[in-house]
Amino acid sequence: MSSALHPLDSATALEPAGEGQWRGRTEPRYGNMVGPFGGAIAAKLLKAPLLHPARLGHPVAFTVNFAGPLADGEFLVAARAARTNRSTQHWVIELTQAGETVATATAVFAVRRESWSSTEAVFPLVPPASSIPRSPPLERHAWTGCYDMRFVKGAPNFGSKVPADDSETIMWMRDEPPRPLDFVSLTAIADAFIPGRLFLRRPRWTPFATVSMTTYFHADEAMLAAHGSRELLGVARAQQIRNGYHDQSAELWTPEGALLAATYQTCYFKE
Amino acid sequence: MSSALHPLDSATALEPAGEGQWRGRTEPRYGNMVGPFGGAIAAKLLKAPLLHPARLGHPVAFTVNFAGPLADGEFLVAARAARTNRSTQHWVIELTQAGETVATATAVFAVRRESWSSTEAVFPLVPPASSIPRSPPLERHAWTGCYDMRFVKGAPNFGSKVPADDSETIMWMRDEPPRPLDFVSLTAIADAFIPGRLFLRRPRWTPFATVSMTTYFHADEAMLAAHGSRELLGVARAQQIRNGYHDQSAELWTPEGALLAATYQTCYFKE
């Protein structure tokens, strides 16, 4: 894990540790208040089938469930192809540390073909990233320094303590330093929306964690390659906050208005 | 599987077949063109942790991946609690038939507490279910006869061959015969939107299947019990159809406008 690696490649570096199993190590630059940033953990899990010699195609759906804290240090990721069809492949993935499950995941990979296509979601009217100053990283959330974030709407409001009218965040975001977009970085950035939807509506601190996250990849390799290392537009909102949990649905767009991914999560909070 | 059982309870009946494993049998009334209706398969997978003696709380997030066709007859469901915390539990579930994986799933269960709550999603202005005639079941899709479906918008349009302006469906739906709502039936009904979003936009037949589905349960047991066996309002739309796959995001509401669940899926189609 040389210093020449991009921090995300360091955070998601895996070395073989037996059939269908890899060993990794947490990367302090992606640290969060307790353990690493969830997006980096998600990316570690997706990396295993991406590295697997039996891999078919690329991810179309990926779900990760955060089961417990990941301590600084080594961990194992195991990936099993539960079923391989002609054009799709189903993976069951698990991240463990000291014999305990830290995260579970499933992924569907596929070989895609061109087809009739149509985008119904609407790319919002927003000022370009270059016209908005970069938001400073958050204290005690080291990982936020690994992203260039520029807020159009719904920026962190802890300081002002003024509740936002709704839970929507619209933000430009990219890896910092810039890194060509791939399925690994797209998976991580899908969890990079700040602040939590709850906090926009109720800007005071409470223990909070993403519990489960699902990403549907609309982009294929060619779209990601064409995007390169430029910024994405992220749009996220909650539909409902209720009894200790809330959902989040979000889209990740290119600046030209191509929808790369739709991503969903449910978050736990303690009152 | 006596005839006194509701068809959904017959379709999701599981008998113990070893530790953390159950045996079930397909129910012809939930048959689809190839194998059973996906919602009934999803419900079979969720049933295993619900029956497990080590179960903690109730589902908050459930993801199922449809890996291959389920043939008529017996199958096995295995459920493993990968991690149990104080108030959450993480399950890894797999449905197999003749030694082959048919579906994989993960579930997060939780014990929930009352908290500050807020609903941002907007319940649409719709006529009551009683004012709309029941839609006839679809030929060759036996399972559609297991639901009372009444369309407000976006009904199946194969017959007219006229493309809809958008992919949105708004429909009243409930089990037929009526059955008190629980997590099993809510999981099944989350997959009961017809027609596929693609077909609304392009009403001609093409092979089509849900590949992965995630449901976030906002409802707890008390909310489900209060709802009883009345109809739900389902609202579904696609955000993007692209290169053989499209997403679907949907909400399931009570007639009073309480949001019970948000559900997402990605579907494969062949041109």
Tens-digit pLDDT profile for residues B141-196: 999 999 999 999 999 998 888 999 999 999 999 999 999 999 999 999 999 999 99
Length in residues, chain B = 271
Provide the CATH number for the domain around residue A261: 2.40.160.210
Quote the tokens at residue A138.
């958050």
Which of A197, A179, A199, A203 is CA-nearest to residue A189? A179
Q: Which amino acid is present at B5?
A: L
Tell me how far apart the alpha carbons of residues A62 and B65 are, in angstroms, rounded to a whole number.
10
A92 in B contact zone (CB under 8 Å): yes
Angstrom distances, CA of residue A28 to CA of A11, A36, A40: 8, 8, 11
A23 has pLDDT over 70: yes
B84 in A contact zone (CB under 8 Å): no
Let me know if residue A157 belongs to a domain. yes
Summary mean pLDDT of chain A:
96
| pLDDT tens sequence across A182-194 | 999 999 999 999 9
Let me know if residue B222 belongs to a domain. yes
Question: Which stretches does DSSP call E strand in A127-244?
Answer: 147-153, 169-175, 208-217, 232-237, 240-242
Which of A94, A108, A45, A62 is CA-nearest to residue A262? A62
Whether B256 contacts B196, CB under 8 Å: no
**Which residues of chain A make contact with B212, given a CB cutoff of 8 A?**
60-61, 63, 106, 108, 214, 216
Instruction: Kindly report the backbone phi and psi dihedral angles of residue A122, in degrees, each rounded to the nearest multiple of 5, phi listed first.
Output: -110, 125
Q: Do you find a cis peptide bond into A127, omega within 30 degrees of 0?
A: no
A3 has pLDDT over 70: no
Let me know if residue B105 belongs to a domain. yes
Residue B1: per-residue pLDDT: 46
Q: How many domains does chain A have?
A: 1
Q: Which domain covers residue A242, as residue numbers? A: 7-111+131-269
A1 has pLDDT over 50: no
Let me know if residue B116 belongs to a domain. no
Query: If pLDDT is split at 50, 70 and 90, which confidence band does A271 have?
Result: confident
- Which ranges constitute the DSSP H helices of chain B? 7-11, 38-51, 183-189, 197-201, 221-227
| pLDDT tens sequence across A223-238 | 999 999 999 999 999 9
| pLDDT tens sequence across A141-171 | 999 999 999 999 999 998 888 999 999 999 9
Let me know if residue A169 belongs to a domain. yes
For an interface test with A, give the residue of B213, B253, B266, B267 to mutate (most A CBs within 10 A).
B266
Quote the tokens at residue A39.
């997006």
Three-class secondary structure of residue B42 per DSSP? helix
Question: CB-side exposure of A21: number of CA atoms within 13 Å?
Answer: 8
Residue B3: per-residue pLDDT: 58
Consecutive H or E run containing A201: helix A197-201
Mean pLDDT of A8-18: 98
What one-character-per-residue DSSP string does B165-231 give? SS--EEEEEEESS-----HHHHHHHTT---S-HHHHHS-S---EEEEEEEEEE---HHHHHHHTT--
Residues near A24 by beta carbon (within 8 Å), at least 6 away in sequence: A12, A13, A14, A15, A44, A74, A75, A76, A77
Which of A213, A104, A195 is CA-nearest to residue B60? A213
**Which residues of chain A make contact with B166, given a CB cutoff of 8 A?**
120
Q: Which of A34-38, A40-44, A267-271 has the highest mean pLDDT?
A: A40-44
Beta strand A100-110 with A88-97 is: antiparallel
Let me know if residue B235 belongs to a domain. yes
A2 has pLDDT over 80: no
Angstrom distances, CA of residue A122 to CA of A134, A223, A241: 25, 19, 24
Mean pLDDT of A30-36: 92
For an interface test with A, give the residue of B100, B239, B252, B254 to mutate (most A CBs within 10 A).
B239
Cβ within 8 Å, pair A241-B90: no
| pLDDT one digit per residue (tens) for chain B, 271 residues | 445 899 999 999 999 999 999 999 999 999 998 899 999 999 999 999 999 999 999 999 999 999 999 999 999 999 999 999 999 999 999 999 999 999 999 999 999 999 999 999 999 999 999 999 999 999 899 999 999 999 999 999 988 889 999 999 999 999 999 999 999 999 999 999 999 999 999 999 899 999 999 999 999 999 999 999 999 999 999 999 999 999 999 999 999 999 999 999 999 999 8
Instruction: Kindly report the backbone phi and psi dihedral angles of residue B197, in degrees, each rounded to the nearest multiple of 5, phi listed first.
Output: -55, -40
**Which residues of chain B make contact with A112, given a CB cutoff of 8 A?**
243-245
Let me know if residue A91 belongs to a domain. yes
Residue among A83, A88, A211 minimizing CB distance to B108: A211
Let me know if residue B209 belongs to a domain. yes
